[in-house]
Structure 1
């Protein structure tokens, strides 16, 4: 045991006693006494040793006493031991103070003091101080036994992953020990390392690559996966690819896991989630490194990826890397399931389009679904107009379908039941009957068939037995070019070109054939020589067949030519036709179907790019249209407002006219009625009460007049007024119906219903009935009014009525009084009371008419608000689309890159170079 180890373990005293000594206290005591007497002996050393013995026997006070009197080279250790005693006694603050006061150059002692302080701080619960002191101990002397292990255990216990990772990374670089690299890898696998920026681990990775390639690959994989879903993922890719590029690596080494990691990362990056500006700096270096280390199972993908990316982004990858990729792709084993990858790409594009709220096209979905059906052979039937193509198809189907000429492609399939569907980009439409289909297919009635596929399933034995689908295309004519045929050439497994035996294989047909060969050079093409029955001479017919076969094979070597008559459906001819079709239906190669799928995926991408422009144009047109509609709606609101005000004036005015007529009648007749009551006065009347009798009679006669004559007349006038109002309001409804019809025609749907509230008329009828059904006229004080003359006359009656001789005088006076009064004030009072409820009714007319128009105004105003809201939303959407076109365009560009990669893989399978 070294001296330092003895001092650490407090076993220094063993150097001063015999090995077999059992009583070190006695031996050291005797030595102390002898040295004290000698005067020259180093008794500090003996005291130090005695302190150790007392410490081991837990006599800490005696040990402290001994160590306090050590004054030689052991004094720093003695102080440290004194602090240990106080630590054991639980006097932590004293121990800490002593530890911190020790001044020594011994790295061992400094490390021991640090470890003791570390333990002390943990016991105190001072974790921050413990953290500081253990980090200082590691920094001062990382090679000191167990110091890094203690630090790591402390960091892990308290989940201080930052410190733990810093320790592991520093020790891995310093020691290049596999243990520390493995510890760091464990942290990375737990997802703890992503709290650091990626460049933090660069030196560690360089050191590990130098030491152990296998561990380097594992470490990279752990760090990569840790950063994958973090914001710093791109920083990691940039940092690592820069670092890895400078390392000495090649395909000669085994990089299987890292190569797989590169492939996974590349596919995720170009899966449509990122913009090109985010990738243009990362992808080239990623592909360069991937190609450099790709193993046999990944080199094909790596090469194809480099070529695809460099084609789309020229000069982004160095020419040497591109050349290397071109060389490798044709020397690589192609064991890739290209069909599965192609279908996955198609599904990714469809899901992306749906997420963008763009219809990915029912037509493309149908095409891909059909191409995946390897049991069915697609035979495309083409030919110029008038060659009997439709008649031939009818003979194959066994039914007189009589397909009307359309610009659509019709796919006839054998099935147990008849079913007809139209597949367009926008929708799937099923037809309930053949007649309905024929009507819809008439080009004069429906142009929507122009870009649609018609799927026509029906019981057709020849199709079912041969697992054949006939793809009928529009006939070539001066008006109808090659567009529809070329569009679906890649859907076909073979092509049957229909010729007319009367003039077979014309120059025009030769030109068409050359276009087809140029567009689909590998498509098998065969010929049907139709109308052979029109050649009456058998030798001439045979000569025509042979001549046609010779001329055709000059263009298409190996092409079959079948002579046929659509009219003569003999069993022999049908059997020969069945055999001919059977020979055409060769087994379908998966790689050929995969190439077709890739072609339609490319068309889908192009379709979606065009769709973007259509969406922008549609939004702009919709905004403009809605603005026009909002203007028209506002104009309609003004029109209805004017109409309402006009009708309110007319209806109110006519009602007031009725009241004025009644008022005039009352004003004229009531005074007459009152004057005529003078006939009540007789000479023998009791003039003491005559004024009361007159007043009652006047009220009775006025009441009778009102109820018997005025109210019936008023009722009749009001009914006529209601009829007039009804005509006016019906005119309003008719006008509003015209408005709503006009708007609904523009909207293309029944969106506006401007229905007025005719309950208003019912209310008016009820009110007219109520107001004219009978009226209790309040008794009016007519004769008893307190004018001076009336007071005088009434008083005279009371006074003189008692004398019979005065009756003649009073009779004349009363008679004169009643007949000569103007009764204007009384009449006005009576008329006002009688017509009060009618006046109130008149005041409510404007409100009632407003209620009549309430719903149309509500509908129009709501439609205006909805239109303005729609305009704002569409303007916002259009602005967003125009401001960030790359959010739509870039994912499609990346899908195209992935598509081109699969095309390269398909080309490599044939070992044919294709630029």
Structure 2
């Protein structure tokens, strides 16, 4: 045992025992002490140090402390450490800590031991931060000291201090290059405690591990990869690991298959339509580069194709060397993959993306894909110029007139157990009720080519020949019009071009054939010579057939020609047709050819979705402009109607007031005259003391009779005429609104606005007028009882002189003159106020009632204004969103195109087949 071990274990005393092992150490050391003390220059320090150890082991800690307190030689630091140990054992932790912390020495073992003791003391005293600090310092200073890193690891794990535990594992893995520490680190990763750390934290350790053990390297990378997958730092990890891999000498022979698979999965994840290009373009080239460098076996072709497809759409993003390597690999290595499954998977991803992003259901292309994967059925595309006799040929096959008018849509005739006719458009799949419904669809020309008709019925010829026939509308001269029909060419396995025997294979037909070849270069084209029966001479018919055949062969050497006439025997015609079908049947590599067609329709779908995106934007622009224009016009209509309401209110109120004023004029004219005429009631023998009362009463009665018998009927008649005038005004307003609504509805293209006024207002007015004019009761008016001076004198004179007969004549004359000449204007005004009082509320409500008459149309127009304003704002917001984020639609479709090109590299190009664009 070395001196360090003895000091560490407190067995230094054994140096003094030697041959005295059978004696007690205290006795041996005591005798040694006495012997040393007798010397002239005794050195008792070592013996005291040893005695302290023995006392310590026998738990006499105080004696041990006493012995160690006087150590002054090189053993002094150890003595202090041992003294602190003794205080520790005595439970005097504060004293022990004070001593531990002041020990100064250059001895690494002593420093490590002091640190470990201090670490244990801190734990016991609950000073965890201090314990962490001291154990980290110890590991940093003396990482190779026995058990230090294990003590630290156990402490960190027990306290779930994962940051320090991970730091320890990473540092020790790099320092020791021990696979054990890498395994510990991997366990932490799998436990999920490393996710919060930056991916770059592990790069150096992974770099070291790659040189040590590539299998362990792959395992740790996989663990880290999976741990970061659902974290915000996942992209950082992808970038970091690919930067690391670029700096490693990767060898395909190392067969890091799991890491290769992760690259493949990650690549397809990021080009699956969920990310913008700007989110992935800074790391995907590195990912592809490393995938190619790692890939082995069947993955090589997929990786190389991915590199080439990415490079096509994003040139210069990959190094020239990696592109050249990919070109070399894809030309030398065969790919083992389920091509159809991969192709359908890509198509399904695109369709799902379209649905999620409100790009429609794409029912037509879904239906087309279903037809293409039906490898047991040959698809014959039957076409020809308008009037070529194509429909007659179709009817011959079915034995009935399934086509009794020109075809307007694409129709696929198939054998089926029963009649089943379905119309497929992008938006819906609709089952037609029967042949009549089908024929109605054929008669429809508008948007006819936006639908496909699938016509199933029991047809022995189609069943026996495993055949379906794609019938098309007759072709015209315009190339663009023809394209709308011919874009379905790639649904077919071969083309049967129907020619009219009266003018076969004209320049126009050659132009159509050239267009077909341009659209589908690999599609075989054959011909049917129709209407041979119209050539009377059989020899002439044969000559026409031969000349046509020769003309076709000079243009298309492999094309075949079949003669046909509706007048020939049908059984023989079908027999000849069956032989002809067998001769042109295209069964070689049908799955590969259909696969190429699938890719064509996938590409067409991507292009169609891009066009839809443009259509959506254009539609939004048009809708915004339309809504803004409509909003301006509707707002103008609201202002116009408000003006109309104001004008009608003025007109109707004015008419009413003119009626009222004429009645007032009648009252003001009649009542004074009527009251003056009451003077005839005064006689010389009248009782002048009460005459004024009698006259006042009579005057009121006459006014009452006048108002009720003359004025009120007149007023009623005039008001009825007023209502007629109001009706005319309201009719004019309604006519204006009907015209206004018709104009707006024409712009809407539907009956959107109904601007009906409320004519019940007139009924309410009639009811109110009937009620108010049914009876009038005049409150007695004080006519002659007013206390004017003249009346007062007259009344006084009457009372004073009434008994004097000689004065009656004078009073009579005075009173009669007074009644005749009195000013009754105020009385007439008072009567008018009474008479018109019931009509005051009616007059005041006229403005409200006119407004009520127009309330509904005004509300409809205002609602339409708000609706168009809201729609314009909503569409403008959507348009701004599209313009602000054009990549929202463009990028996913671009990435789908990358995936498509990768698939084409892996399949069509690799087999020497021509890609269809």
- Give the TM-score category using the shorter length: over 0.9
**2:290 paired with 1:286:** no
Write the deviation string for residues 48-93 of structure 1: whole angstroms up to 9, x where unpaired. Answer: 3343344344443333333323333232222222223333444333
Counterpart mapping for 1:436-585 below 5 A: 436-442=437-443, 446-479=445-478, 482-502=482-502, 504-506=504-506, 508-510=508-510, 512-534=512-534, 552=552, 559-578=559-578, 580-581=580-581
* Residues 60 and 782 of structure 1: CA distance in aligned 2, closer, same or farther (over 3 Å): farther
Contact residue 83 and residue 95 of structure 1 kept, 8 A: yes
Q: Which residue of 2 aligns with 1:669?
A: 670
* Residues 767 and 175 of structure 1: CA distance in aligned 2, closer, same or farther (over 3 Å): same
Write the deviation string for residues 374-426 of structure 1: whole angstroms up to 9, x where unpaired. Answer: 34332111223333111101122332133544564222233345454544445
Tell me the distance in 2 between the aligned counterparts of 1:236 and 1:548: 69
Contact residue 499 and residue 529 of structure 1 kept, 8 A: yes
SS of equivalent residue, structure 1 residue 402: coil
Q: Which residue of 2 aligns with 1:793?
A: 794
**2:335 paired with 1:334:** yes
* Residues 799 and 230 of structure 1: CA distance in aligned 2, closer, same or farther (over 3 Å): same
Tell me the distance in 2 between the aligned counterparts of 1:664 and 1:691: 27
Tell me the distance in 2 between the aligned counterparts of 1:147 and 1:802: 150
Counterpart mapping for 1:44-193 below 5 A: 44-193=45-194
Q: CA deviation at 1:139?
A: 0.8
Tell me the distance in 2 between the aligned counterparts of 1:203 and 1:119: 33
Tell me the distance in 1 between the aligned counterparts of 2:191 and 2:556: 64
Write the deviation string for residues 721-764 of structure 1: whole angstroms up to 9, x where unpaired. Answer: 12211221122122112212211211123332323333332332
Q: Which residue of 2 aligns with 1:817?
A: 818
SS of equivalent residue, structure 2 residue 358: coil
Contact residue 156 and residue 165 of structure 2 kept, 8 A: yes
Contact residue 904 and residue 915 of structure 2 kept, 8 A: no
* Residues 893 and 795 of structure 1: CA distance in aligned 2, closer, same or farther (over 3 Å): same
Q: CA deviation at 1:602?
A: 0.7
Counterpart mapping for 1:709-748 below 5 A: 709-748=710-749
SS of equivalent residue, structure 1 residue 447: coil
Q: Which residue of 2 aligns with 1:238?
A: 239
When structure 1 is superposed on structure 2, of 8-17 and 668-677 the one drifting more is 8-17
When structure 1 is superposed on structure 2, of 138-147 and 537-546 the one drifting more is 537-546
Tell me the distance in 2 between the aligned counterparts of 1:700 and 1:56: 143
**2:639 paired with 1:638:** yes
When structure 1 is superposed on structure 2, of 746-755 and 454-463 the one drifting more is 454-463
Contact residue 388 and residue 566 of structure 1 kept, 8 A: no
Q: Which residue of 2 aligns with 1:886?
A: 887
Q: CA deviation at 1:696?
A: 2.3
Tell me the distance in 2 between the aligned counterparts of 1:420 and 1:805: 124
Q: CA deviation at 1:109?
A: 1.8
* Residues 506 and 785 of structure 1: CA distance in aligned 2, closer, same or farther (over 3 Å): closer
Q: CA deviation at 1:146?
A: 2.2
Q: Which consecutive unaligned segments of at least 5 residues does structure 1 have?
A: none
Q: Which residue of 2 aligns with 1:257?
A: 258
Tell me the distance in 2 between the aligned counterparts of 1:591 and 1:21: 97
SS of equivalent residue, structure 2 residue 332: coil
Count of residue pairs brought into register by the alignment: 913
Tell me the distance in 2 between the aligned counterparts of 1:806 and 1:34: 183
When structure 1 is superposed on structure 2, of 662-671 and 75-84 the one drifting more is 75-84
So what's the TM-score if we normalise by structure 2? Answer: 0.92
Counterpart mapping for 1:218-367 below 5 A: 218-359=219-360, 361-367=362-368
* Residues 178 and 688 of structure 1: CA distance in aligned 2, closer, same or farther (over 3 Å): same
* Residues 440 and 510 of structure 1: CA distance in aligned 2, closer, same or farther (over 3 Å): closer
Contact residue 408 and residue 442 of structure 2 kept, 8 A: no
SS of equivalent residue, structure 1 residue 411: strand
**2:204 paired with 1:203:** yes
Q: CA deviation at 1:583?
A: 6.6
Tell me the distance in 1 between the aligned counterparts of 2:851 and 2:726: 14
When structure 1 is superposed on structure 2, of 36-45 and 658-667 the one drifting more is 36-45
When structure 1 is superposed on structure 2, of 541-550 and 569-578 the one drifting more is 541-550
**2:847 paired with 1:846:** yes
Q: Which residue of 1 aligns with 2:693?
A: 692
When structure 1 is superposed on structure 2, of 450-459 and 656-665 the one drifting more is 450-459
* Residues 34 and 712 of structure 1: CA distance in aligned 2, closer, same or farther (over 3 Å): farther
CA RMSD of aligned residues (A): 3.0
SS of equivalent residue, structure 2 residue 413: strand
**2:369 paired with 1:383:** no
Write the deviation string for residues 174-193 of structure 1: whole angstroms up to 9, x where unpaired. Answer: 11111111222233334443
Contact residue 476 and residue 482 of structure 2 kept, 8 A: no
* Residues 554 and 150 of structure 1: CA distance in aligned 2, closer, same or farther (over 3 Å): farther
Q: Which residue of 2 aligns with 1:776?
A: 777
SS of equivalent residue, structure 1 residue 252: helix
* Residues 54 and 533 of structure 1: CA distance in aligned 2, closer, same or farther (over 3 Å): farther
Tell me the distance in 1 between the aligned counterparts of 2:915 and 2:750: 53
Write the deviation string for residues 14-61 of structure 1: whole angstroms up to 9, x where unpaired. Answer: 444469658544544554455455575544334333433443444433
* Residues 509 and 756 of structure 1: CA distance in aligned 2, closer, same or farther (over 3 Å): closer
Tell me the distance in 2 between the aligned counterparts of 1:365 and 1:666: 88
* Residues 788 and 343 of structure 1: CA distance in aligned 2, closer, same or farther (over 3 Å): same
* Residues 38 and 513 of structure 1: CA distance in aligned 2, closer, same or farther (over 3 Å): same
Contact residue 410 and residue 453 of structure 2 kept, 8 A: yes
SS of equivalent residue, structure 2 residue 908: helix
Q: CA deviation at 1:257?
A: 1.1
So what's the TM-score if we normalise by structure 1? Answer: 0.92
Tell me the distance in 2 between the aligned counterparts of 1:767 and 1:261: 88
* Residues 632 and 485 of structure 1: CA distance in aligned 2, closer, same or farther (over 3 Å): closer
Tell me the distance in 1 between the aligned counterparts of 2:25 and 2:695: 155
* Residues 590 and 115 of structure 1: CA distance in aligned 2, closer, same or farther (over 3 Å): farther
When structure 1 is superposed on structure 2, of 183-192 and 678-687 the one drifting more is 678-687
Tell me the distance in 1 between the aligned counterparts of 2:293 and 2:336: 20
* Residues 547 and 815 of structure 1: CA distance in aligned 2, closer, same or farther (over 3 Å): closer
Contact residue 87 and residue 95 of structure 2 kept, 8 A: yes
Tell me the distance in 2 between the aligned counterparts of 1:799 and 1:29: 169
Contact residue 477 and residue 508 of structure 2 kept, 8 A: no
Q: Which residue of 2 aligns with 1:905?
A: 906
* Residues 816 and 291 of structure 1: CA distance in aligned 2, closer, same or farther (over 3 Å): same
Write the deviation string for residues 189-223 of structure 1: whole angstroms up to 9, x where unpaired. Answer: 34443433333322212211111011111222222
Write the deviation string for residues 275-294 of structure 1: whole angstroms up to 9, x where unpaired. Answer: 33343332323222211221
* Residues 666 and 544 of structure 1: CA distance in aligned 2, closer, same or farther (over 3 Å): closer
Q: Which residue of 1 aligns with 2:5?
A: 5
Q: CA deviation at 1:824?
A: 1.2
Write the deviation string for residues 795-828 of structure 1: whole angstroms up to 9, x where unpaired. Answer: 3333444556655544444333322212111221
SS of equivalent residue, structure 1 residue 374: coil
Q: CA deviation at 1:224?
A: 2.6
* Residues 373 and 42 of structure 1: CA distance in aligned 2, closer, same or farther (over 3 Å): farther
Tell me the distance in 1 between the aligned counterparts of 2:408 and 2:423: 13
Contact residue 407 and residue 484 of structure 1 kept, 8 A: no
* Residues 540 and 672 of structure 1: CA distance in aligned 2, closer, same or farther (over 3 Å): closer
SS of equivalent residue, structure 1 residue 890: helix
Tell me the distance in 1 between the aligned counterparts of 2:914 and 2:432: 47
Contact residue 307 and residue 901 of structure 1 kept, 8 A: yes
Contact residue 449 and residue 484 of structure 2 kept, 8 A: no
Contact residue 143 and residue 149 of structure 2 kept, 8 A: yes
SS of equivalent residue, structure 2 residue 608: helix
Contact residue 330 and residue 911 of structure 1 kept, 8 A: no
Q: Which residue of 2 aligns with 1:649?
A: 650
Contact residue 11 and residue 52 of structure 1 kept, 8 A: yes
